[in-house]
Structure 1
Amino acid sequence: MPLSRSVQGLTALITGAASGMGLATAELFAREGANVAVTDLSAEGVTEVAARLRAEGFSAEGWGLDVSDPNAIAEVTQAVAQRFGGLDILVNNAGISAFAAVDSEGYEEVWDRAFSILLTAHQRLVRAALPNLRRSQSPRIVNIASTEALGATARDSPYAAAKAGVTGLTRALAVELGKEGVTVNCICPGPILTGMTQGLSEEDRRTFANRRTALRRYGEPEEVAHMTLSLCLPAASYITGAVIPVDGGLMARNA
């Protein structure tokens, strides 16, 4: 029987989905027919997103979720599975900016917060979702890391170390869960037009893109979302443990 290239009827839990890449992912999955659990720290934000998606005729519900809170993770994951009758896809997208000089006074606090939200939350969400993923016919986990995991910037050691941890976690879980048919993959976005990059001037973004990327531009959140969708298709059943840059050729370019 041909492998399906549709997520119609599947249920996806997406973290950090009130804005940026998470929002683009939620909108794309909804348009493709998935039941979408929109989660974010902002309960008001996800409520608005879910309501708008439902008004457009899609299947979506919103939950406020602080991914640094293990109890909240367990409660929301269970609520999502109960609401939609299961869980097929987990997209670990929630993130923060975490930059600090290694000798700065507040470094330890930045380090702890970075690991809590950018790495520890990923494994907690996987562990909470796993009982339902194991019952799915097409279980998919996609972790969102960063090209900072592959080549770092000055003053970003908390962020880069946590994101590198995400790539390691992805590979380890892919090996561990592969025998059960659960695929685990990782996307490393490069320079994307999100809230984290809005503080940069348009001139600075243009200069960086021209100097560092092959495509000479920043990416759009939806361009990352499409890679996430591709990895979550039932037809993507033989892709696991992959770490995929979506970076406009940033990692490929030497000069």
Structure 2
Amino acid sequence: MDDCPPLSRSIAGRVAIVTGAAGGMGRATALLFAAEGAKVAVCDLDAVGCEAVVAEISAAGGTALACPLDVGDHDAIKLNVEKITGHFGGIDILVNNAGISAFSPLDAGNEYDMIWDRALAIMLTAHQRMVRAALPWLRKSDAARIVNIASTEGLGATPGDTPYVAAKTGVTGLTRGLAVDLGKEGITVNCICPGPIRTGMTDKVSEADKAVFANRRTALRRYAWPEEVAHMTLSLVLPAASYVTGAVIPVDGGLTARNA
């Protein structure tokens, strides 16, 4: 029997794209990747936020590039991938993290249609467009990794959240489909489903309400920090994570495991 080839647990020198990287889980991921030695393209609709994250990375001795990007704009995706590859010379890692809140009652009329269209454009269609734009470069990498950030809303549903639920459920399916399509090339594609996380989307929830929800729904009885999700993302993009693909992994404090 042949021996296993060397398996590296380092992403030093790898080029990573992180969308939605100006805050929350995206920012935590960008900072962690840079701390591990990766060259990080910080992509977000918030141009000021992009620059702030790049400044944080640079101050810590890391390497990053600010890439203001509306992932709902197909042409902008292609232009930014060109910018990133022109600057860094390639792409090894893609983290599709950009997202929006999309609560809307079914009887909201035109407003519902607008929220539905935007939810799918930002949180599903943009994911496959980012993959397709980056794919020629990922194919040149010896350890290409794609991680899509979905949600536990892609594994269940909250009332009034149908556009978000539909988009995130689509992400889990997209992940499996891409994993099958790209597996023969050694490109892994995985999905993380975060549960209750302390991000901008949950800032409006009071600490008291957070505690009630966490105690009622999660096994760990708390909300997570974005950094805890970022570390799972890091695990999936390591060169050594070479036999994990098509996985849908809850990072939810036991929310999906708990019945009562």
- TM tier, shorter chain? over 0.9
Any idea what SS the aligned residue of 2:41 has? Answer: strand
1:110 corresponds in structure 2 to 115
5+ residue gaps, structure 2, are none
2:217 corresponds in structure 1 to 212
Any idea what SS the aligned residue of 1:236 has? Answer: coil
TM-score of the two chains, using structure 1 as the length reference: 0.99
5+ residue gaps, structure 1, are none
Corresponding position: 1:5 with 2:6: no
- Equivalent position amino acid for 2:181 in 1: E
Answer whether contact 1:13 1:38 (CA < 8 A) is retained. Answer: yes
Any idea what SS the aligned residue of 1:234 has? Answer: coil
Question: By how many angstroms is 1:8 displaced?
Answer: 0.5
Answer whether contact 1:21 1:225 (CA < 8 A) is retained. Answer: yes
1:201 corresponds in structure 2 to 206
Tell me the number of residue pairs that the alignment of Structure 1 and Structure 2 aligns: 255
1:59 corresponds in structure 2 to 63
Q: Distance in 2 between matches of 1:54 and 1:5?
A: 23
Of the three residues 142, 148, 154, the one matched with 1:137 is 142
How far does the alpha carbon of each residue in 1:155-204 deviate from its partner, in whole angstroms, 9 at most, with x for none? 00000000000000000000000000000000000000000000011100
Question: By how many angstroms is 1:52 displaced?
Answer: 2.3
Of the three residues 229, 247, 252, the one matched with 2:257 is 252
Q: Distance in 2 between matches of 1:142 and 1:213?
A: 24
Of the three residues 34, 37, 60, the one matched with 1:30 is 34
Corresponding position: 1:72 with 2:76: yes
1:82 corresponds in structure 2 to 86
Q: Distance in 1 between matches of 2:83 and 2:42?
A: 12
For the aligned residue pairs, the C-alpha RMSD in angstroms reads 0.6
How far does the alpha carbon of each residue in 1:196-231 deviate from its partner, in whole angstroms, 9 at most, with x for none? 000011100000000000000000000000000000
Q: Distance in 2 between matches of 1:252 and 1:49?
A: 34
How far does the alpha carbon of each residue in 1:98-153 deviate from its partner, in whole angstroms, 9 at most, with x for none? 01011112111110000000000000000000000000011000000000010100
Runs of 4+ in 1 over 4 A off after TM superposition: none
2:172 corresponds in structure 1 to 167
Corresponding position: 1:46 with 2:50: yes
What's the % identity of the aligned pairs? 67
Corresponding position: 1:18 with 2:30: no
